[in-house]
Amino acid sequence: METARRADKMKLGTLIHPTGNHVASWLHPASQIDAGTNFRHYVRLAQTVERAKFDVLFLADALAVREGNREALSRWPQYMAYFEPITLLSAIAPLTTHLGLAATATTSYHEPYNVARAFASLDHISGGRAGWNVVTSANIAEAYNFGREAHYEHGERYDRAAEFTEVVKGLWDSWDDDAFVRDRASGRYWIPDKLHELNHKGEHFSVRGPLNVARPPQGHPVIFQAGSSEVGRELAARFAEAVFTPQHTLEGAQAFYQDLKGRMAKYGRSPEHLKVLPGLNPVVGRTEAEAQEKHQFLQSLIHPEVGLELLSNALGGFDLAGYDLDGPLPEAVESWKAQGSTTSFRNVLNWARTENMTIRQLYQRYAGARGQRTLIGTAKQVADHMQDWFLNYGVDGFLIQAAYLPGGLDDFVELVVPELQARGLFRTEYEGTTLRENLGLPRPISRYAK
């Protein structure tokens, strides 16, 4: 099964959507139904994964409610009532000690100065545990809240993302690490030579700087990235230190892993400085039958209109209304240009064509893990799969996206984590106190360091 024993250990993160990752999670009688506005719920989840020694808790985000068929959306509360993620993580920070705290901030509808400042602040507040997920916005409706009538086109938004990230990193270096001497005796608070103006003038942004926050404890908060298209991979190779990606087969994951790490050399980066963390929806039972039963129960709760809406979103807005649920995906999808995520578009099309799946089967597969991989079984079976992917260099770890919360995550933490630890695949104690230390990433040296 394995080629060689890896010296490093698996990294684990969790992505939290309020009631869980499954579209029908809010209908599960044991999910936290008011989760989107229940702060204690998030604290409980953060403390659960910190007890289990997870690297990071990650919050996805959108700057708009979802567009579409309101009849269907009213049965699916995703992104309808959400806390602003950096506010939420800042509140969780003092109630945790080692857990990394990462959030999405889109480069399409923010300004780099604001993003640099918010994540630098979170890094200080949390003592070096902040992470920023650089995205280009999957939700095309965000445009309407920021003075535009249409979302930026895919290539243009990635162009903007690259310049945006460069500016943010530059702003984080505004102050040398030792700029603030705070010396009452000499009456000097900071050293003038240790303050730097960025003076960036580019195609999309003009930012003088400097940032009005001291250099973050981690130097730079950890940079995450979650786009898997060609340009998405290039952006990741250039900047990302951890990457979220939907991967469904070991061969596909290995190809992605090698491709991404292989692109890093031209940016002068070492492959170990980027961790590939595909999404995983584990449905764990004490027996395989119990796990299957848990999964089928949630699947049975999917309203067909929600299923169609979900699939239409994954296909970049292609309207599936009126098509036979038990028939194939219409031919017209092939020529549809996905406006949102091209990665989910490709994955759905691929399942439809290679596995002859019907529309109903497609949305059912997509529903559980929102396009990520679902593993159903006992702790041993789930750990076996994770081990196989890890030891065979398909991944550096996983982003756990539990189907419903808190129960699905509790199951993973109680049943699978001890199994991974017993096999020596996952830590039993944190290596350090910062997210970088735990992920095994170097602290960036300032661009102005002599």
Ligand X SMILES: Cc1cc2nc3c(=O)[nH]c(=O)nc-3n(C[C@H](O)[C@H](O)[C@H](O)COP(=O)(O)O)c2cc1C
126 interacts with ligand X by CB under 6 A: no
Burial class (CB in 10 A: 0-12, 13-18, 19+), 249: exposed
Q: With binding defined as CB under 6 A, does residue 131 bind ligand X? A: no
Number of residues binding to ligand X, judged by CB under 6 A = 24
Residue 241 touches ligand X, criterion: CB under 6 A: no
Nearer to ligand X, 213 or 236 (CB): 236
Q: Which stretch binds ligand X (CB under 6 A): 89-97, 228-236, 412-420, 438-446?
A: 228-236
- With the CA atoms of 186, 448, 204 and 128 taken in that order, what torsion angle do they form, in degrees rounded to the nearest 10? -70
**Which residue number, 32 or 228, has a Cβ lying nearer to ligand X?**
228
Contact 258/392 with Cβ under 8 angstroms? no
Name every residue whose Cβ is closer than 8 Å to that of residue 49 and which is 6 or more positions away in sequence.
12, 14, 57, 99, 409, 413
Cβ density class 425-434: b for 16+ within 10 Å, e for less: bbbeebeeeb
Q: Kindly give, in sequence order, each residue whose CB lies less than 8 Å from that of residue 6, ignoring residues fewer than 6 positions away.
A: 390, 391, 393
Q: State the Cα–Cα distance between residues 410 and 390, nearest whole angstrom.
A: 22
Report in angstroms how near the CB of residue 193 gets to ligand X at its nearest: 39
Check binding of 14 to ligand X (CB under 6 A).
Answer: no
Smallest distance, Å, CB 248 to ligand X? 12
Return the residue of 19, 90, 96, 228 that touches ligand X, per CB under 6 A. Answer: 228
Task: Give yes or no for residue 136 binding ligand X (CB under 6 A).
Answer: yes
Of 52, 54, 6, the residue nearest 435 (C-alpha) = 54
55 binds ligand X (CB under 6 A): no
Quick one: which segment of 1-9, 137-145, 389-397, 419-427 binds ligand X (CB under 6 A)? 137-145
The distance of closest approach from Cβ of residue 231 to ligand X in the complex, given in angstroms and rounded to an integer, is: 6
**What's the rounded Cα separation, in Å, for the pair 274 and 260?**
9
Q: Which of 92, 130, 135, 171 binds ligand X (CB under 6 A)?
A: 135
Per the rule left: phi > 0, alpha: psi between -120 and 50, beta: everything else, 209 is left
- Report if residue 397 touches ligand X, rule: CB under 6 A: no
Q: What contacts 148, CB < 8 A, 6 or more positions away?
A: none
Binding-residue pattern over the window 263 to 292 for ligand X, x denoting contact by CB under 6 A: ----------------x-------------
Choices 58-66, 256-264, 308-316, 419-427; region in contact with ligand X by CB under 6 A: 58-66
Residues that bind ligand X (CB under 6 A): 15, 60-62, 104, 106, 135-139, 226-229, 232, 244-246, 279, 341-343, 399
